[in-house]
Structure formats: structure tokens, C-alpha cells
Amino acid sequence: MEAQEIISLLDSDTITIKGTPISERQFTGVALLSGPMSMTLRNKDVVFFSPVSYFNSLPNDFIDDRLFFLYVDEPLKPLSPNSSIVLISHRNDWLESFEFVAQEFRELQRKKEQVLKLTRLVNRGSSLKSLINAAASIIGTPACILDTSLSFLASSDGFPTWIADGADKTSGMLPEDALNLMKHKGLISPAQPSDLVVFDWYDDKGNVFTNHFSFIHSRDNIIGSISFFTKNEHLRQSRIEMIPAISQIVSIEMQKSNSYLLNKSLYYTHLFRQLEEGKYPEDTDQLRLRFSFFGYQLKKYMHILLVDLSRDYMPSERVNSLAKQLHPLVPNSIYVINETEIIFLLSDDDIHEESLCDQEVIRHALADTAADVGISSIYLNPERTPSYITEARRSVLTGRKVDPDLRVYPFPRFRLLDIVSNVMDGSLLYSYRYPPLVHVIDTDIENDTYLTLTLYEYLQNPTDPEAVAEKLFIHKNTLYYRLGKIREIMGHDFKDAETIACIQMTFHVLRIQDRFDKLVTRTKK
């Protein structure tokens, strides 16, 4: 214990402090002086109790840089500049103070031994719950362990609500005000983490709460934190000094049991799970704030980019490497890794129905893998995130059916195909074929012409007939002739939206039925 802590244990009304207070020295015991005790007096880490009459007989060499508690049984001699004295007027108060300080040193020694005994719990494979209960008992306050996602791994029995009254009881995440406070104190993703931080917060009733916070390390990595809490009182310095040792013992157990995470991805996993399960803050600004704690800015317009890994086994280290490789290619994004997929959430301030990420570069990055990518359409409401994750998955499934070499499948290009591919009754698909277009297809087959392909290419780019004609290797006048012939065969124009939709639906049905190349492009027999 330090001198200030020892003095603070005594009744201030019974003591008078003289001389220069000793600071930054740890005292390890106490001695009651009587008779010749030169060996004991050589120790500067012992607190000495004696009458003034005994003290007055000591040379300055045995007084300087030592802490004395003196019973005033005669006038005190002049003090040297380096003496530190506490005077107690009444003998009974002095004796009681000696017994009390001696008892406190014995109690402190027991607590230090209990800290060492925590290693036995680790060796026996005890849970973090058992460890935190033992640690809380040693320090004498409620305590908890957080992982690097700022979620509870364990808390001591009877953990009070005033510490985390708004914590999510399902995911164990901290409430908003606690997250804000920790961010303000620089305890979220710190550039240079410290071993121990002590900080206060207040409630509207004037109560003062104190968090004695210590990071838990595994070599150079932060794997969590441990906190001990007090309400309207200060934790004694001798107890605070035990916390780093406790945190290192907890670190051993966390590494042994894999109860930790070495990066921030679990934090976002929690947020994704909350979104998927509908457990999101009603206030979107609060959700954006939660995303910002590790530096990510959730902007207005969102997409989901999903990397499907289900077709081929990939070791976890390879999955992590692929995720890190793709991350710079997906602008303003965060990602989580699931069992068979990597999910990116990307957002932008500008509205784009199809994500602006470079699909060709992503396709190249996937060249040595069996993975494919689905990209959802745009959305604004975070509440809808589960639907758009599902949408990205469906985009991959649909895209693989009709264009397995494409590898990257934006849902906006596959929306109608997705509808068609989800028709379970195969015979029902025939009813979605537009009869006038089927008549054109039959005419092509009968006369070996390419009117259907002409119509398909034209509807892909109706505002630029020259480009369509060039793609078909025909003159623009020939294109107009063919379009007129198609109208004649169909008995119907194709300028209105409903007719165009029916025609496009037919093309998508043919794709799903694997008949498109045989009946439209005529590249398959």
C-alpha cells in the first residue's frame, strides 16, 4: 500500500500530519517499535508505530524517508526535511490504528495470494464466469469481461443494472450511452492502448459511477477487457494495482478457451445478426452511430454484396485472405464471414440501382476460386437488410442457371429471371410464354430466319438502332424491315410497356428452360 492509502484508512479527526508526505512508494508491512530494533528500522517499506518518546531517541538516518505513526507522549523534537510523520494524541486511538493497519496489510496479502490462486482455476479449466466471480470477490466490486466486439463474455453474480441497464440481453451488447462513453475515452480500437484506465460517469440523480478498465492482451493483440465498478466511492489504490495481473490471468483462460476475437469483425457480425433478427434500434441514426464505432460510416443508399463459397471447400485462412483481398474492391464496405459466404455491406451517398463496384476486377479476383458473387439491388431502410441478403443469395442461384461463366450477378439484371426461376411447377412456365412471340419463334424455325433474335437485341437497346444493327451485322434499313415483319407476324405492336414485359418474360422463361440458345440465338441444336 502507498502512504496516502494507509493514512486514508484512519479517522482524520484523530490524526495530524507532519513533514513531507512520501509518495510513489509501496509499503509491505507494519512494525510496532520498542527497544533496540535497528534491523527493522533499516527497512524503508515498513510503516512504523511508536511513541514520540521512542522516536525522539532515533538518529535522523533512521527517520528520513520513512513513515511513522506516533503516539504523542511528549513533545516532538524538530523534524528533518525528509521526515514523514502522523501524530495521534490518544494512546487508545494509536493502538487501534496499529491493529487496523496491521490487519489491512494481512488482508492485502491474502488478496494477493487469491490473485495467484486464480491460475489454479485456469489450470482446472474453470469458466470465465467462475474467474470473474473470484476476481470480483478479491477486488470487492462488481466486474465484467467484454470481448473486442464490446459484448459481454461474463459478468459477476448480482451484476447491478446501473452498470449496463440498457444492454441487449440477447447479444450482450453494451447500451448506446456506454458505447458513446467508451468511444469518448478512446477505448474503442485504440491506436496505443493503455493497461489501466479509470473514468467516471454520472446519472441524473448525482450519483458518480467509476469504471476501472483494463485491456486484456495476447502478446501484441487486444483480445478483450475487464472492468471493475464502484458507485459513489473510490476503489483503493492497492486494489486497483491488482487489476492488470488479474487481466493477464483472464487472458490465459480466454486464449485457452478461444473466448476471444483478434479483430473487429465480430462487432459487425453482432450488428448484422441484430438486423437479420429484427433487433435493430428504432432510430436509424443510432444504428449508424453503432456502425461508426470502428470507423465505418453507414451512408443512405445500401447494397449487399455476397460471396458464395458453397460450391467448394475453402480453408478458413483462405477465406480470410479472400475477404481481405476483396475488401478494397468494394467501396465503403464492411464484411462478415459466415460458414459458406462472405457478406459485404456497402453504402453510398448517391443513388445507383446497381452497385458501382468494379465487377470485372472482382471477377478477376475470383478466378482461382469456385466462388460467385451476388449483389442486391439498392435499399434505404436498414430494417430490410435480411431481405436484401436473401436477394443477393438468390441472384447467385439464378445467375448460375443461366450464365455460369459470369461469376458476378447483380440482382437488377436478374430480377425477372428470379421470378421465373422460383416457379415450382415446370408446366406453369409455358403459360408465361407470350403466344405472339411464340408464333415468331415458330416462323423463324420454319423459314430459318432470325426475327426473334432481332427483336431480343432491339429491346435491349431500343434507343440506338444503329448499334443494334451493327451487333446483328445488318444494315439499319434491314433492321427496320425485320421489326415491321415481326409486327406483322405477331399481329401486335411492341411499343407499350405491357407487351414489352410479356416479351421479356418469355425470353426469361426460355433461359430458365434452357431453350434460349436453341430457339432465340439458334446457337444450339
d(CA 176, CA 166): 8
Using the 8-state DSSP alphabet, how is residue 151 labeled?
A: B
| Angle at 495 (CA atoms; ends 493, 500), nearest 5 degrees | 95
The CATH class of the 125-257 domain is: alpha beta
The predicted model gives 265-277 an average pLDDT of 69
The domain segmentation of the chain, as residue ranges, is 3-106, 125-257, 265-415, 426-519
SS (H, E, C) 345-391: EEEECCCCCCCCCCHHHHHHHCCCCCCEEEECCCECCHHHHHHHHHH
Percent of the chain clearing pLDDT 70 (strictly above): 92
pLDDT class for 282, splitting at 50, 70, 90? low
pLDDT at 267: 66
* Terminal-residue alpha carbon distance, the chain: 91
**Higher per-residue pLDDT: 383 or 329:** 329
Strand partners for 50: 70
pLDDT at 472: 94
SS (H, E, C) 70-124: EECCCCCCCCCCCCEEEEECCHHHHHHHHHHHHHHHHHHHHHHHHHHHHHHHHHC
d(CA 165, CA 169): 10
Q: Look at residues 301, 302, 346 and name the one whose alpha carbon lies nearest to residue 328.
A: 346
Using the 8-state DSSP alphabet, how is residue 430 labeled?
A: G
Q: Look at residues 68, 89, 71 and name the one whose alpha carbon lies nearest to residue 80.
A: 68
pLDDT at residue 189 is higher than 60: yes
**Higher per-residue pLDDT: 49 or 352:** 49
The predicted model gives 468-492 an average pLDDT of 95
Strand partners for 87: 16, 70
Cβ atoms 83, 58 nearer than 8 A: no
pLDDT at residue 349 is higher than 80: yes
d(CA 114, CA 405): 64
Would you call 203 exposed, middle or buried from its count of C-beta atoms within 10 A (0-12, 13-18, 19+)? exposed
pLDDT at residue 136 is higher than 90: yes
Q: How many CB atoms lie within 10 A of CB 374?
A: 27
d(CA 430, CA 415): 19
**Higher per-residue pLDDT: 374 or 260:** 374
CATH superfamily of 3-106: MurE/MurF, N-terminal domain (3.40.1390.10)
The predicted model gives 306-335 an average pLDDT of 90
Each as own residue / partner, the long-range contacts of residues 481-487 (CB below 8 Å, 24 or more positions apart, any chain) are 482/451, 482/454, 483/454, 483/455, 483/458, 485/451, 486/440, 486/451, 486/454, 486/455
Q: List phi, psi (to 5°) of 333.
A: -130, 160
Task: List b or e across 311-326, with b for residues whose CB sees 16 or more CB atoms inside 10 angstroms.
Answer: eeebeeeebeebbeeb
> Which residue's entry shows cell 492482451?
217
pLDDT at residue 252 is higher than 50: yes
d(CA 130, CA 113): 17
Average model confidence (pLDDT) across the chain: 88
- For 159-176, how does the pLDDT look when each residue is reduced to its tens digit (9 = 90+)? 887 776 655 444 456 777
The residue type found at 447 is N
pLDDT at 147: 78
pLDDT at 291: 75
d(CA 308, CA 317): 16
pLDDT at 281: 62
Q: Any idea which of 178-182, 385-389, 445-449 has the lowest mean pLDDT?
A: 178-182
The predicted model gives 395-408 an average pLDDT of 94
The residue type found at 472 is L
d(CA 355, CA 88): 78
Q: Which residues contact 235 (CB under 8 A, 6 or more apart)?
A: 139, 141, 198, 210, 212, 228
pLDDT at 208: 94
pLDDT at 170: 43
Three-state DSSP state, 173 = strand
The CATH code of domain 265-415 reads 3.30.70
pLDDT at 261: 41
pLDDT at residue 51 is higher than 90: yes
The predicted model gives 49-69 an average pLDDT of 93
- For 431-459, how does the pLDDT look when each residue is reduced to its tens digit (9 = 90+)? 889 999 999 999 999 999 999 999 999 99
- For 192-208, how does the pLDDT look when each residue is reduced to its tens digit (9 = 90+)? 667 799 999 888 888 99
pLDDT at residue 370 is higher than 60: yes
